[in-house]
Structure 1
Amino acid sequence: MKSYSQSVKIYGSNEAIFKALTLRIDKWWGEVNHPITGPETVFRVSFGEAYWGFKVIDFTPNIRITWECIESNQVHAGLKGIKEEWLGTKLHWNILEEDDSVSRVDFLHEGLVPAFNCYDVCSSAWDFFITDSLKSYVEEGIGKPEK
């Protein structure tokens, strides 16, 4: 089964995007217990009682970062059996400079597949957080994180 993927063009530098994906996750996605400072960093993103713990397994500044989900307490009203669906999945962020002012983010959530109970909710959420919130944060300095 094909894993979820998304691409978005962002008016901003690779450096600004990488900073958003490491030091400013709280500005476009969710609450973070601490920033990503390098490879092997372990961090947690949360929305109220729901949270996901990640370990950075690839860290190439301004080009690529990969997070592996090592802890999951996914909660969504009405969905059963999703608590640990993300466990073991990998989130790949690749940043490609298209020209002097535009970069493209190619995102792959490896393991987030249509067979997951949370797939529809999670893919819709990623669509929003990547193409709207992350893009808005990098381009305008104002993201739309979950609070």
Structure 2
Amino acid sequence: MKNQDFTTTILVNKTPKQAFDAINNVRDWWSEEIEGSTDKLNAEFKYHFQDVHRCKMKITELVPNKKVVWLVEENHFSFTKDQNEWVGTKIIFEISKKDGKTEIHFTHQGLVPAYECYKICQDAWTQYIQESLKNLIEIGKGKTNGKEKPQTENERKLSSGKN
């Protein structure tokens, strides 16, 4: 059976170290609504966006300039029946050199099309990785969520109750 985990890849004109440092600077590409350390092995951090999405991550792998893995320990979506859709899944960033550039291969292992949240999560991760993280790496400024401020179209709809 074909692997159905969500993946997306970006290529940047920066070093693997610059990519690794940006990935671990979660507040500057995902959200200012992050509590806890995001750059130490076994550290845990929490994310929330209003009451739409809350989760707790544990950093389970941190290989300098090569790999970052987060384990989703807790999750809540206001828009799904099953609150465990992300629990136990892994968010993986693999960094490598390719054609003189740095490639970041992002996988949300366990985020599959059968999940109720899949379409919204796919759209959000795509925007956060392909736009915000890429911009942070390349120009030093991501498109992060401000405090209680939606970034993606789906976040705007969900925060206004238009689902």
When normalised by structure 2's length, the TM-score is 0.81
Partner of 1:97: 97
- 1:126-145 matches, cutoff 5 A: 126-145=125-144
Runs of 4+ in 1 over 6 A off after TM superposition: none
- Is 1:32 aligned to 2:34, yes or no? yes
Does the 8 Å CA contact 1:66/1:91 hold for their aligned counterparts? yes
CA contact (8 A) 1:29 1:144 kept: yes
Per-residue deviation, 1:116: 0.3
Partner of residue 118, structure 1: 117
- Alignment: residue pair count: 142
Deviation at 1:122, TM superposition (A): 0.3
**What letter corresponds to residue 67 of structure 1 in structure 2?**
W
Q: CA deviation at 1:11?
A: 1.9
SS at structure 1 position matched to 2:4: coil
Render the CA deviation track for 1:61-105: whole Å, top value 9, x for unaligned.
Answer: 110011000011223xxx3315331111001110012255x2000
Residue correspondence of structure 1 range 14-33 to structure 2 within 5 A: 14-22=16-24, 24-30=25-31, 31-33=33-35
Bigger-Rg structure (1/2): 2
Unaligned stretches of 5+ residues in structure 2: 147-163
Query: 2:19 & 2:108 partners in 1: Cα distance?
Result: 18
User: 1:48: Cα distance to partner?
Assistant: 2.2
Task: Give matches, 1:50-65, under 5 Å.
Answer: 50-65=53-68
Which 5+ residue runs of structure 1 have no aligned equivalent?
A: none
Percent of pairs with identical residues: 27
Cα pair 1:43 1:54 within 8 Å, conserved: yes
Work out whether 1:84 is the aligned partner of 2:84: yes
Q: Provide the alpha-carbon RMSD of the alignment.
A: 1.5
Letter of the 1:66 partner, please give it: V
